[in-house]
Amino acid sequence: MAFFKRIGLFVLTNVLVMVTIGIVWSIVSHFLGLAGLNSYIPFLMAFCLVWGMGGAFISLLMSKWMTKMFHGVQIIDPQNQNPELRSLVNTVHELARRAKLPKMPEVGIYESPDVNAFATGPSKGNALVAVSTGLLQRMSKDEVEGVLGHEVAHIANGDMVTMTLIQGIVNAFAMFFSRILAGLVASNVDEKFREIVRFAVTILGDIAFTMLGSIVVNYYSRKREFRADIGGAKFASREKMIAALRKLQAAYELPIPADDTATGTLKISNRDKGGLAGLFMTHPRLEDRIDALQRARI
């Protein structure tokens, strides 16, 4: 489960969607006698582009529902009688007004000792900002505002849509290469086993190439964190944003119970990793983010 923590729920959902598409197409094409078209490169390229982008956008449309289910996020009514929860909603809505969002995002809370928050949703007018109970317990009001400013900046920047477009291109290449590989492998197998081998290699290739493509997706994810930090500084303040990052830095120096349900690509932070694992990280080092924010012109 630690691997899923690194790649994030969006990528995990996308892999499941792509594998489902691959299985359905393999079955349908076999019974309709269309399997031979997979060797026709122009057709294969068009098919992969359409279904690759389609899979990414299906993942995007499912993003709010998936994160609510995955984390058990409880949506907070703006008229909630609890003053702390009502203040949380009011803070998000005020930041959203500063960011000129077309519609106020939903605000939710989920049970987790992890000090974190995330934003998701298919559009600027249909978004969700959720915070963990651990964050509310361990951060001051100003630090929480800095975190919320960062998440609202993700929405204002349209990061989920941009990430979906990148993921769609990665999907298309993954589907294309997996089918080319499946054709090459199957051509060297006895004819009575050829379709079974083609099917198996295609599905395994979809998974492997999509996971490999997540390196590209996560590279963009790390870049967008710097932009969201700048946005958080604009909507809250530089001081509150830096204070929030420093608190995250301090919090992650302490042992935190394992959280296998972390939504890597959506959260404000993730643990620093080096080496090969660093290629799958969705967030840059907190030290680098603080340094960049201190030097940034806002």
User: Could you please report the per-residue DSSP string of 13-25?
Assistant: HHHHHHHHHHHHH
Distances 180 to 26, 91, 174, 232 between C-alpha atoms, Å: 14, 51, 10, 44
Please list the residues that pair with 108 across neighbouring strands: 75, 130
Q: Is 143 annotated as a binding residue?
A: no
Report CA dihedral (264, 266, 270, 275) to the nearest 10 degrees: 60
Q: Is 93 annotated as a binding residue?
A: no
Mean pLDDT, residues 238-267: 69
Report whether 146 contacts 84 (CB < 8 A). no
Q: What letter does residue 39 receive in the DSSP assignment?
A: G
Q: What percent of the chain has pLDDT over 70?
A: 78
Residue 184 is predicted with a pLDDT of: 84
Strands of 15-153, DSSP E: 74-75, 106-110, 117-123, 126-132
Task: Please tell me which residue in 106, 143, 145, 151 is annotated as part of the active site.
Answer: 151
Residue 262 is predicted with a pLDDT of: 39
Residue 213 is predicted with a pLDDT of: 86
Mean pLDDT, residues 205-212: 88
Torsions phi, psi for 76 (to 5 deg): -95, 125
The span from the CA of 103 to the CA of 125, in Å, is 5
pLDDT at 147 over 80: yes
Q: What percent of the chain has pLDDT over 90?
A: 41
Residues with Cβ within 8 Å of 245's Cβ and at least 6 positions away in sequence, in order, are 146, 229, 269, 286, 289, 290, 293
Sign of torsion over alpha carbons 3, 5, 6, 7: positive
pLDDT band at 260; cut points 50, 70, 90: very low
Residue 198 is predicted with a pLDDT of: 85
Between residues 133 and 50, which one has the greater pLDDT?
133
| pLDDT tens, position by position, 106-119 | 999 999 998 999 99
What letters, b where the CB count within 10 A reaches 16 and e where it falls short, cover 57-87? bbbbebbbebbbeebebeebeeeeeeeebbe
pLDDT band at 283; cut points 50, 70, 90: confident
pLDDT band at 5; cut points 50, 70, 90: very low
> Is position 151 annotated as part of the catalytic site?
yes
pLDDT at 261 over 50: no
Q: Is 154 annotated as a binding residue?
A: yes
The span from the CA of 110 to the CA of 74, in Å, is 6
